[in-house]
Amino acid sequence: MKAVDIYINQEYVFLEDYNDLGKGLLLSSTILQQFLERLSAQLVSFSFALDDCCWDQIKSATDQCRALVPLGTMPNLKKLSLTSFGFDDVDTLASCLSPDLQVLNLSDVKMGTMLEWSNLEVDFLVRKLSGLKKLVSLNLNDIALVDGHLRSLLPHLKFIRCLNLEGKWGAGGDPPLTDLGLKAIADHCPKLLSLSVNYQSKATVSGIMTILQKCPEIVQLAACRLNIGVQHIKLILTASVTLLNFSFGDMTSIFNQHERSVMQNAVAATKGRVVICTMNGLFKVNLSPEHKRNQDSSMAKIERAHEEQRDPMVINNWDGIL
C-alpha cells in the first residue's frame, strides 16, 4: 500500500444533534497510530479529510490528533493532505510534517479551542514550512499568513509551482494579505503555475499585475472577492501569454450587457485562450470558430489538471498537460 485516502462525513460522526457521537464512526487513536507506524516505510501519499464541524469529535478519537504524528517520520511520504482538521497546538501539527514532502495541503485547518490561529502559531508554522525545501505544491487555505510571513517563507521554497493562499470564506475576519504579499510571491516564485488568493480583499489589481508580469509560466490565477472590476479584465488577460484560467468577482456579480461585451472582447483579445470563471460559474462567450477551438483546448487542459490533482501519486497536476 502506497496511498491512503480517508474522508469522514458528518453522518458518521453525529446523530440527530451535534452533541452525541454517532455510532457509525469507530475510530481509535491507538489503532490509527499503529496503522501508520506499520505503513511508515511504504506510504507515499496520505490524505485525511473531514466534513465540516467534526473537529472536536475527531480530536477526541485521535488523542488530540497525536495519533497522526507518525506521518512526520515517514521516509518516503511525498504528499500529505489534512483537510478541515482541528489541532489543539501547532507543535502537534508540525510533528506531522515529513521533511521530504513535495505536496502539502492544510486546507481549512483550525487551531486551538477558538479555532483561530494566533500570530505566534503562524510564525511557528512558517518556520517549520521553511524547512520543507522540496515543496512543489502548498495549500494554506484559511491560515492567516500576513505579508511578512511570505517574505520569510517563500525564499526557501525554490521548487514551488502551485500555491493556495485563500483567505477566510465570507465576510468574517480581516484579510491579512495585501499587494505587498502578492509582490513577495512574484519576487520569489518565478516558476509559479497556479495561484489562488481568493477572499484576500485587501489585494488589488496592482498586485495581480505584478504576479502576471513576474511569473511568466502562470496558467491559473484565482482572485475572487478582490477589488477587481470588469474594466481591468482585458489588462489582466493580455498581460500573460500562458494564462489559461482567470477567476474573479463574487456571489453577487451580475454583469450588464456592456460589461459582458467588455469581458467578451477581453477573451477575444487572447484569441479565446483564457477561460474566465466567476463565483457563479463559467463565463460563456461567443467566439469565432478558431477562437472557440482555443477556448475548448484551454478547458480540456484545465479539466485534466483538475482530475490529475485527485490522483494520490501526482505531485504537480500540470505536468504533461502544458
Q: Cell numbers at residue 163, please?
A: 500555491
Closest C-alpha to 275, from 227, 243, 308, 239: 243
The domain in which residue 137 lies consists of: 117-309
In a domain, 211, yes or no: yes
Q: How far is 176 from 198, CA to CA, in rounded Å?
A: 12
Q: How far is 180 from 148, CA to CA, in rounded Å?
A: 9
In a domain, 305, yes or no: yes
Pairing state of beta strands 275-278 and 281-282? antiparallel
Q: How far is 18 from 197, CA to CA, in rounded Å?
A: 32
In a domain, 93, yes or no: no
Please report the pLDDT score of residue 22 as a whole number: 46
Helix crossing, 205-214 with 179-188: angle to 10°?
0
Please report the pLDDT score of residue 10 as a whole number: 85
HSE-up of residue 205 (Cα within 13 Å, Cβ side): 14
Q: Cell numbers at residue 111, please?
A: 487551531
Total domains present in the chain: 1
Q: How far is 134 from 146, CA to CA, in rounded Å?
A: 22
Q: Which helix (H) or strand (E) holds 195?
A: strand 194-196
pTM of the model as a whole: 0.95
- Match 474573479 to its residue by C-alpha cell: 248
What mean pLDDT, rounded, does the chain reach?
93
Please report the pLDDT score of residue 18 as a whole number: 45
> b/e map of 175-185 (b: 16 or more CB within 10 Å)?
bbbbbbbbbbb
Count the neighbouring beta carbons within 10 Å of the beta carbon of residue 118.
Answer: 13
3-state helix, strand, coil in the chain (%, to 5): 35, 15, 50
In a domain, 90, yes or no: no
Please report the pLDDT score of residue 16 as a whole number: 53
Question: Mean pLDDT of successive 10-residue segments in the chain (322 residues)?
Answer: 93 63 73 97 97 90 97 98 97 98 97 91 98 98 95 97 90 80 98 97 96 98 95 98 96 90 97 96 94 98 96 95 93
In a domain, 175, yes or no: yes
Please report the pLDDT score of residue 94 as a whole number: 98
In a domain, 174, yes or no: yes
Domain containing 142 — which CATH number? 3.80.10.10
pLDDT tens-digit profile of 2-30? 999 999 988 877 765 545 544 567 789 99
pLDDT tens-digit profile of 260-270? 999 999 999 99
Q: What percent of the chain has pLDDT over 70?
A: 95
In a domain, 60, yes or no: no
Q: How far is 159 from 192, CA to CA, in rounded Å?
A: 9
Please report the pLDDT score of residue 170 as a whole number: 60
In a domain, 69, yes or no: no
Closest C-alpha to 273, from 248, 242, 234: 242
